[in-house]
Structure formats: C-alpha cells, structure tokens
Amino acid sequence: MPAHARRLLLLAQLVLLALWLPLLWASDIEIESASEHVTHEMLMVDADSRIEFSEDAIKAMNSGVPITIEFDLRIARPRKLLWDAEVLSAHRDFTIERHALSDQFVLSDRATGERRIHGELGLAIQDLARIRDLPIAEASQLAGEDVEISLRLRLAIRSLPGPLIPIAFISPGWHMSSGWYRWRTQL
C-alpha cells in the first residue's frame, strides 16, 4: 500500500475513533454493591445500583417507548497461569414500560414474565436499581468453587424501536453501561 494511502487510512481511523470515543466512555449506570447468597439451594444475587437515565431516555419512556436493561453475569474460576475459566454465564433483561391507560410504569422481567407496577417512573427505576434474590443457578453446581463473579448492567440499544436505534447508536445519551463489577467468593 502506498505511503499516502496509509496516511489516509490512519486519518480515517483517527476520525472514527474521535467520533466513537465519547460513546465508549459514556456511563450513567454504576453498580454500588453486589453480593451473592444461597437460598433454598439456589444461588442468588443482590445488587444495588445507581441508574441515571438521560433526558432522552426519560422522555422516550414517558412517551411509551420500552427501555430494556441487560443484566450480564459471569462466574469464572481464576487460574494462575492461564486466563480465567468461565463456569457460568447468565443474561437477564428487565424492561420498563409505561402503561398509558393506568398511567403507571411496568417493570417486567423478560425471562420470568414477572411484572411490578409503579405509579412513577422514578420508583420503577429505583426498583430496577435494587435487585434482590435474582436466581442464577442451583447452588449444588458450584459448591466449593472459589470463583470470581462479574456483573454488568447496560441499556440494550438493540431492543429499542428500529427508528431509534441509529440515533441511539450515535448518541452518548443512549450508551449506558456500568462496566463490570467483580467480586470473589467461595461458594
């Protein structure tokens, strides 16, 4: 490849990077604490988070657009010389949606279909931020393991209505992710 072509390519990459950089750093979700416990032979996770939706997202939810937050959880067995061995990976989607007729906000677990109704959006968000007894796996599967648990919350842009996806994709206000919250424990 000629030198000028390489320079052009590098310039294009820099421009792209400059465009996407703010998106990579955009984060309005923070997992403040998380822990696991075993109840009724089930490994469950509790997590307390701070979720601050952007004005665009708030406006969208108030306008009836369902917003989905993804819970990604990984359990890995640390190894000394090699990378960690993944033991378990779980994924849960929670959706907040306005119900116009009742003028309430419905927080639903997409996996179980469980719904919790809130009179205000803020209450629904608070409910979402406070996760309790989220079942992950049967405790017997992981008994005695020294593991590292990683948890991440992020807004699922792909779950937005089609016309909103391009906007969300290039807008920092829609790129919400907590980053991985990790802790080690003996199961």
Partner 1 sequence: MLGTVGLLTLSLLGSLVLMSAAMQNSDRFGALYSVLLLSNTAGLMAFVWLIGVNVRRLLRQIRAREPGARLTLRMLVIFVALAVLPVTVLYTFSLDFLRRGIDSWFDVRVGDALQSSLELSREALDLRMRELLSQTESMAEEITQGAPPERTTLNLDALRDPGSIVTASAWTPGPSVLDAMRARSGADELTLLSADGEPLATSSRISDLIPHLPAESLLVQLRQGRSYIGLDPLRDGTLFVRVAVSVNVAPGAGAKRVLHALYPIAPRINRLAGTVENAYAKYHELDYLREKLKLSFAMTLTMVLLFSIVTAVWAAFYSARRLAAPIRDLAIGTAAVAAGDYATSLPVQSNDEMGFLVSSFNDMTRRIGRARAETETQREYLDTVLRQLSSGVVALDEAAHITTLNESARRMLELDDDAAPGLGFIETCRRDDHLHPLADTLEPLLAEQRSEWQEQITIFASNGRRVLMCRGTSLARHDSAARGYVIVFENITAIIQGQRDAAWSEVARRLAHEIKNPLTPIQLAAERLRQKYLKKLGPEEGEALERLTSTIVQQVETMKAIVNTFSDYAKSPVITRAAVDINALIAGVVDLFRGGYPEARIETRLAEGLPPLSGDPTRLRQVLNNLVKNAFEASPEPANAHIIVSTSITQYAQADHVEIRIEDRGEGLPEPLLSNIFEPYVTSKAKGTGLGLAIVKKIVEEHNGVVTLRNNPEVGAVAIIRLPLDKEPAQNEEALLKDAV
Q: What are phi and psi of 164, to 5 degrees?
A: -85, -20
7 binds partner 1 (CB under 8 A): no
In the bound state with partner 1, the residue whose beta carbon lies nearer, of 59 and 184, is: 59
Considering only 54, 104, 177, 185, the residue that binds partner 1 (CB under 8 A) is: 104
Q: Where are the alpha helices (DSSP H) in the chain?
A: 3-25, 55-62, 121-129, 164-170
**160 lines the binding site for partner 1 (CB under 8 A):** yes
Convert 13-55 into a string of H (helix), E (strand) and C (coil).
HHHHHHHHHHHHHCCCEEEEEEEEEEECCEEEEEEEEEECCCH
Q: Does 144 bind partner 1 (CB under 8 A)?
A: no
Scan residues 105-124 and list those touching partner 1 (CB under 8 A): 106, 113-120, 123
How would you classify the pairing of strands 104-109 and 29-39? unpaired
Over the window 62 to 81, marking each residue x when it contacts partner 1 by CB under 8 A and - when it does not, the resulting string is: -xxx----------------
- Among 46, 70, 90, 169, the residue binding partner 1 under the rule CB under 8 A is 169
17 counts as binding partner 1 under rule CB under 8 A: no
Give the Cα-Cα-Cα angle 115, 166, 56 (nearest 5 degrees). Answer: 55
Nearest distance from residue 50's CB to partner 1, in Å? 18
